[in-house]
Homo-oligomer: A and B are copies of this chain.
């Protein structure tokens, strides 16, 4: 059903037939419809259809060296944090006619390298990265000069700008807050601590503000739900102090908190719970919990703003921008 394309029609013909400028057709082709009326867009689309015009974008890319596509690698699209990060990025990129193209590392550092290799050997105008790898590895594999902005995962000796949360401070402040409410016993629920610097920072933050701390590490690869639930319950009862269960990862909060609430164990009297949570499901349950939100949408939007400055030719210093987490 797809028509044969008319190789003779070019952008000038489209502009002439639509009665608009070539710049307008170009903005249309780049999906940059920000300041374009629906009527104009319709006229251009109509002319393109009538002339059966196919923009030779690959050829155009070789001349302009711009694809108007920005690659975004996130850690795992199953995590709401990653998808919100992308939605924030995407909304800002669109404002200047760029499109965010999403690559899912699937929580796998080897897969991330495969994606970097693919991105490095194609025409993307820039890369936004929630990375497992270190900057040197990224650069060696990417192997192409393009603007890079790192988001969420803090990197040392990072040659490009970073947008991060202060995980240490967020965990410390939350622990202090619950300490003031008398919850002096902390049960930390986390994935393997040694696998993620983010988790380590959060754990250090808790240790800096509490003495009576127990840790329950759950292996993401293999775990038994009811066994973890039992061990968690045992740790809560272990201390005679008021206890706060502190989830370092939203996934565990979503998996284990509902049954603790339903069983009546979390009563906001003797036992409460908190953690890093960016979805609303747990917030809507009774009794209401006070949780930490990092605002991934804002983190994504902020990293995209830096990317746009670089795409507009500005050199941005490789500084760290810290988006504060909120306890609410």
Which of A's residues lie within 8 Å of B, judged by CB? 1-2, 5, 28-31, 33, 45, 48-49, 52-55, 57-59, 61-62, 67-69, 77-78, 80, 83-84, 86-87, 90, 94, 99, 101-104, 106, 114-115, 117-118, 120-123, 139-141, 143-145, 159, 225, 254-255, 258-259, 261-263, 280-281, 284-286
Chain B residues within an 8 Å CB radius of A254: 281
- Taken together as a complex, chains A and B put the C-alpha atoms of A48 and B262 apart, in Å, by 57
B121 near A104 (CB under 8 angstroms)? Answer: no
Most chain B C-beta atoms within 10 Å of own C-beta, residue among A53, A54, A122: A122
A262 near B286 (CB under 8 angstroms)? Answer: yes
Chain B residues within an 8 Å CB radius of A118: 30-31, 68-69, 99
Chain B residues within an 8 Å CB radius of A145: 2, 5
B284 near A225 (CB under 8 angstroms)? Answer: yes
Closest B residue to A145 using CB positions = B2
- Taken together as a complex, chains A and B put the C-alpha atoms of A159 and B139 apart, in Å, by 43
Chain B residues within an 8 Å CB radius of A101: 101-103
How many copies are assembled? 2
B285 near A259 (CB under 8 angstroms)? Answer: yes
Chain B residues within an 8 Å CB radius of A94: 114
B281 near A259 (CB under 8 angstroms)? Answer: no
Chain B residues within an 8 Å CB radius of A285: 258-259, 262
B117 near A67 (CB under 8 angstroms)? Answer: no
B77 near A140 (CB under 8 angstroms)? Answer: no
Known contacts A2-B144, A52-B143, A255-B281; can you find 9 more A-B pairs with CB under 8 A? Answer: A58-B61, A58-B122, A77-B77, A83-B83, A99-B118, A102-B104, A258-B258, A259-B285, A263-B286
- Taken together as a complex, chains A and B put the C-alpha atoms of A106 and B143 apart, in Å, by 32
Most chain B C-beta atoms within 10 Å of own C-beta, residue among A53, A68, A101, A141: A101
Closest B residue to A287 using CB positions = B262
- Taken together as a complex, chains A and B put the C-alpha atoms of A308 and B54 apart, in Å, by 25
- Taken together as a complex, chains A and B put the C-alpha atoms of A324 and B30 apart, in Å, by 39
Given contacts A78-B80, A83-B83, A118-B99, contact A2 B139 (CB under 8 A): yes
A121 near B29 (CB under 8 angstroms)? Answer: yes
Given contacts A83-B83, A285-B258, contact A117 B29 (CB under 8 A): yes
- Taken together as a complex, chains A and B put the C-alpha atoms of A28 and B145 apart, in Å, by 20
Closest B residue to A67 using CB positions = B122
Q: A62: which of B28, B30, B59, B284 is its contact (CB, 8 Å)?
A: B59
- The contact sample of 22 A-B pairs, CB cut-off 8 A, is A1-B139, A2-B145, A5-B144, A28-B117, A29-B121, A31-B115, A31-B118, A45-B141, A54-B120, A54-B143, A54-B144, A57-B122, A58-B62, A59-B62, A69-B118, A69-B122, A78-B84, A101-B102, A259-B284, A261-B262, A262-B286, A263-B286
Question: Would you give the shortest CB distance from A109 to chain B, in whole angstroms?
Answer: 13
